[in-house]
């Protein structure tokens, strides 16, 4: 029922809106591997074929060893790959990741919901090029590094994401997972609000997108230093539960797109991108590319097979 709602409603939700490249909004579905079913993934793959999104890897796990986690990830990649939604680079899967329960690299103080200290190194060895887990505040897994795009300096350690090697224009690509964060801030709920709240770029029923929130996201100015004119805004949602789906497939998300269109009339060039495309634009910025980000959506990681049909 939940996936069917996305398959049926998302094309009509996006049909009114276009970005600077004449592309419709697109959603990245980080699918939880432990819940795989062909009946759940195939409708998402159809949306990929329509150019309305892509599918990446999400996983909830607990008490794993390096070997047991590798088995789970390889199984997930194989199952998703059977639907043609996992890109391949040099014959191997190329994918991005969001960790279930935020517990990347065994990041919880109590050690729950992971178990593998060197998880980032394991991910990279299996073809993961980027992690999109954070921000997670107020969860204890939240790193002290905020509003940044960076490599972990040593990806073999627990909570390796706490030690950052920020990327810049001219920085070399590392053989490590690139961490791409969404905006995190202390903000007011509205223009007349007094109490501060944690703004972690999460969209859900009790915190829908608004013009005020959009301004806060942009103000965090997440970019690759040296390319200040390319600003990245990464949002996240648990979009399947009915309460949240009403936000993501209804008037609130449409109002967000209307607000984005208003920015475009003020001189901004808005680009809707998937997680893969965002990573590619970041890599292009690191390599000193300029001009329109749209030229670099497939810069390093190609689109999945399903998207090319």
pLDDT, residue 195, reads 77
Tally the residues of the chain.
309
Q: What is the rounded distance in angstroms from the CA atom of residue 203 to the CA atom of residue 209?
A: 6
pLDDT for 58 beyond 80: yes
What's the angle, vertex CA 279, arms to CA 273 and CA 283, rounded to 5? Answer: 125
Q: Note the pLDDT tens digit of each residue in 125-147.
A: 999 999 999 999 999 999 999 99
For residue 307, is it within any domain? no
For residue 309, is it within any domain? no
Closest CA relative to residue 100, chosen from 68, 126, 66, 73: 73
- Taking residues 33-55, report their average pLDDT: 97
For residue 169, is it within any domain? yes
For residue 37, is it within any domain? yes
Residue indicated by tokens 């600003």: 231
Q: Return the axis-axis angle of helices 2-14 and 38-49, rounded to nearest 10°.
A: 10
Domain count along the chain: 1
For the chain, the average pLDDT equals 95
Q: Note the pLDDT tens digit of each residue in 242-271.
A: 999 999 999 999 999 999 999 988 889 999
Q: What is the rounded distance in angstroms from the CA atom of residue 271 to the CA atom of residue 279?
A: 13
- Taking residues 156-162, report their average pLDDT: 98
pLDDT, residue 154, reads 96
Q: pTM score, two decimals?
A: 0.96
Closest CA relative to residue 147, chosen from 40, 231, 222: 222
Q: Which residues contact 279 (CB under 8 A, 6 or more apart)?
A: 96, 129, 130, 178, 180, 300, 301
Three-state DSSP class for residue 187: strand
For residue 306, is it within any domain? no
What's the angle, vertex CA 279, arms to CA 306 and CA 51, rounded to 5? Answer: 30
Q: Are 55 and 45 in contact (CB under 8 A)?
A: yes
pLDDT for 309 beyond 60: no
How far from 94 is each of 26, 32, 77, CA to CA, in Å?
Answer: 19, 17, 9
- Backbone phi, then psi, for 306, in 5-degree steps? -60, -30
For 278, the token pair is: 């965002």
For residue 223, is it within any domain? yes
pLDDT for 178 beyond 90: yes
Residue range(s) defining the domain that contains residue 88: 2-299
Give the single-character DSSP code of 139: S
Q: Are 261 and 243 in contact (CB under 8 A)?
A: no
How many other CB atoms sit within 10 Å of the CB of residue 221?
A: 12
For residue 113, is it within any domain? yes
Q: What is the rounded distance in angstroms from the CA atom of residue 143 to the CA atom of residue 158?
A: 12
pLDDT, residue 192, reads 64
Give the single-character DSSP code of 304: P
For 176, the token pair is: 């490590």
Give the single-character DSSP code of 237: -
For residue 308, is it within any domain? no
């Amino acid at each position: 029922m939940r996936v069917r709602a996305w398959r049926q409603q998302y094309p009509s939700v996006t049909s009114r809106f276009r970005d600077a490249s004449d592309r419709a909004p697109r959603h990245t579905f980080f699918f939880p591997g432990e819940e795989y079913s062909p009946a759940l993934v195939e409708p998402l793959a159809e949306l990929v074929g329509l150019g309305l999104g892509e599918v990446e890897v999400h996983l909830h796990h607990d008490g794993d060893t390096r070997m047991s986690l590798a088995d789970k990830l390889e199984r997930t990649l194989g199952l998703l790959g059977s639907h043609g939604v996992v890109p391949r680079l040099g014959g191997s899967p190329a994918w991005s990741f969001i960790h279930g329960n935020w517990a990347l690299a065994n990041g919880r103080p109590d050690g729950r919901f992971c178990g593998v200290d060197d998880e980032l190194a394991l991910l990279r060895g299996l073809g993961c090029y980027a992690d999109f887990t954070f921000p997670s505040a107020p969860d204890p897994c939240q790193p002290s590094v905020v509003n940044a795009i960076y490599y972990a300096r040593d990806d073999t350690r627990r909570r390796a994401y706490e030690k950052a090697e920020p990327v810049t224009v001219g920085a070399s690509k590392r053989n490590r997972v690139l961490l791409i964060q969404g905006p995190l801030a202390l903000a007011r709920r509205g223009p007349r609000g007094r109490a501060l709240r944690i703004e972690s770029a999460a969209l859900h029923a009790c915190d829908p997108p608004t013009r005020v929130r959009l301004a806060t996201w942009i103000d965090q100015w997440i970019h690759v230093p040296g390319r200040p004119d390319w600003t990245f805004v990464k949002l996240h949602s648990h979009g399947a539960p009915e309460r949240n789906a009403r936000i993501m497939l209804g008037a609130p998300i449409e109002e967000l797109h209307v607000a984005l269109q208003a920015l475009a009339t003020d001189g901004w060039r808005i680009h809707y991108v998937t997680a893969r495309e965002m990573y590619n634009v970041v890599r292009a910025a690191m390599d000193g590319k300029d001009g329109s980000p749209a030229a670099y959506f497939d810069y390093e990681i190609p689109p999945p097979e399903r998207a090319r049909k």
